[in-house]
Amino acid sequence: MPLFINRDQIFAHQVHLLEHKLRSKEERILELETENAILHLRLSESLGKLRRDHEEDTKCESHHQLQSNTEKITQSALVKLLSNVQAVKQDLSELFAVYASFASELEEQSKQLLEKVEQASCCLNGHHGDEFQNLQDRVAALERSLEEEKERCRSERQKRKELHNMLVELRGNIRVHCRVRPVLAFDHVQTSGSGPASSEEVISAISDDTVMVNCLKTGMPVQNKMFEFERVHGPDDSQNAVFEEVKSLLTSLLDGYNVCIMAYGQTGSGKTHTMMGSQLEQHSGIQQEAQQGIIPNAAAELFRLLSEKPGESHAVEVSVMEVYNNEVFDLLARDEHGNAVGQRRDVITTSSGTSQVTGLTYEPVCDASEVMQIISSVLKLRAHCPTLVHTDSSRSHLIVTLTISSKSPNALALARRLQSAKMDMQRSAQKEWWSPRCRRANPSARQPSYELFASPASSPCPSPSLSPCPSPRHSISQTEFRTKLQLVDLAGSECVGMSGISGAALWEVSCINRSLSALSDVLGSLAEQRPHVPYRNSKLTHLLQDTIGGDAKLLVMLCVSPTQRFITESLQSLGFGTRARQVQKTPRRKNHTLKVK
């Protein structure tokens, strides 16, 4: 009997299956539509981001073009202004020479007339009274004319000072020079592998203000990096050529500004040679002039400038310190037998805001030879340690300070002291002037007498008060003011793996690198004009506070090695110099418009 099949059930089952498939397809269609909407949304977001990036690129490009045009215009204007300043300085020097000859001629005529008056007084009688009176009138007129010429001469000298300081300020209160040393014997080290040779020269001075670095990498094209500074010295530049670009700052020193010249770079880059000169080539105890560094040349130039100011009295004192393992040592300190021994000193901040080393030894000097004799006698106390990079590597920062005390007979110094006293009184009116760190609170503490009226860090004119604490009343009877020239030979930054040191020397490297990092942080804070500058993060920056901050003049001499072996440290030094150039310090006091009646 055939099996009976219900066709309606079969059709119903098929319809159910088809409806299930239809629902599945509809769900799939809904998922695809959702994904499509999401993709469209992402596409619109990507297009919007691409459009914004394109607009930002366009803005950046236009801003860069505008900045480049502005820099070109500023540079051309600065070049024109510098040429005008040089022309004015030349005219002033010629005018000063004419005034000097005229003044000497007037003095000679005055002497002759005085002699005639003395001769006439011997045979004076009633008939010669009128002639004697005429002679006296002529002498008085000549003396008045002489005083007028002297006053005009002083005015012209002050204008020259103002133009010189304006020129230095246009160049920047912080100037950065770079010196590329020649290839030396320890640069030739065998390297393994197929990379570039370690003695290959990759850093060169391509112009007076540009350094080029060839960044060589195996299998990669050569990339050239350019660094611009105020002055760049190549391996062939002599010590005298380097100092010629530095010595203009000494004029600012005698004009009342603190000045600091420091050498920065890695171990073996030529810092000590640049600052001190060659200590090997000596004949009969006299160092060859061609090998003298910045320190002996600066001392000689300082005393030469002082000798050209016979109408003013100056006193010069020298101190020598080293910062070793973040501690300050006085290298001129003596024991009971009179031998020089390095004694640890503390750095404090006085109530007037200046940094001061307690108990620091100062030696009075009269010429450059005495300065170098004192420095040479204590250099053996400086910490040294041989490394794989340098056989006589300095492990401390050497700081030579020349302090100049000046007494000027003209009215300009008195007027500047009046202005400084007024500003100090305005500042002291906003805060309590007595400080628990005042020297009156600790009368047993010893310090040099001139430290009691040391100038603030931002002012070339010191507080005229003889009290160690700022007093509401300022004495202006004294016209003496003090400035200091700090010459710094920094210890070299280095990589521990390359130097091959171990043991206690690792702590020395750590302290050196941390102090240099603190110096970089201080310059970074000044560049960004932060309200707080971390001078006290290191003894080095705390010690140099007066010559780094305010309107002090700072010159950083970058010393770099030209070879591939030290390219990492050289790039770090060049980057440090680039950041230092970004500092734009605003002087707190302008003396260019100061008028004296």
Give the amino acid at 399. Answer: I
- Paired tokens of 112: 């002759």
- Tell me: is residue 342 an annotated ligand-binding position: no
Name residues whose C-beta falls within 8 Å of residue 316's C-beta, 6 or more positions apart in sequence: 302, 303, 306, 364, 365, 366, 402, 403, 404, 405
Q: What CA–CA distance (Å, rounded) separates 468 from 435?
A: 10
- Tell me: is residue 287 an annotated ligand-binding position: no
Q: Are 287 and 277 in contact (CB under 8 A)?
A: yes
- Tell me: is residue 267 an annotated ligand-binding position: yes
Q: What CA–CA distance (Å, rounded) separates 342 from 334?
A: 8
Q: What CA–CA distance (Å, rounded) separates 297 from 286?
A: 14
- Tell me: is residue 483 an annotated ligand-binding position: no
542, HSE (Cβ side, Cα atoms, 13 Å): 16
Q: Report, in angstroms and rounded to the nearest whole number, the Rg of the chain calculated over CA atoms.
A: 36
- Tell me: is residue 59 an annotated ligand-binding position: no
Give the amino acid at 268. Answer: G
Q: What CA–CA distance (Å, rounded) separates 340 from 332?
A: 6
- Tell me: is residue 497 an annotated ligand-binding position: no
Nearest by Cα to 211 from 255, 187, 180, 240: 180
**H-assigned helices in 351-393:** 368-378
Q: Are 559 and 269 in contact (CB under 8 A)?
A: yes
Max distance between CA atoms of the chain, in angstroms, equals 186
Cα torsion 402, 407, 410, 416 to 10°: value is: 70
- DSSP, collapsed to helix, strand or coil, labels residue 560 as strand
- Tell me: is residue 406 an annotated ligand-binding position: no
- Tell me: is residue 541 an annotated ligand-binding position: no
Q: Are 218 and 564 in contact (CB under 8 A)?
A: no
Binding-site residue ranges: 265-272
Binding-site residue ranges for ATP: 265-272
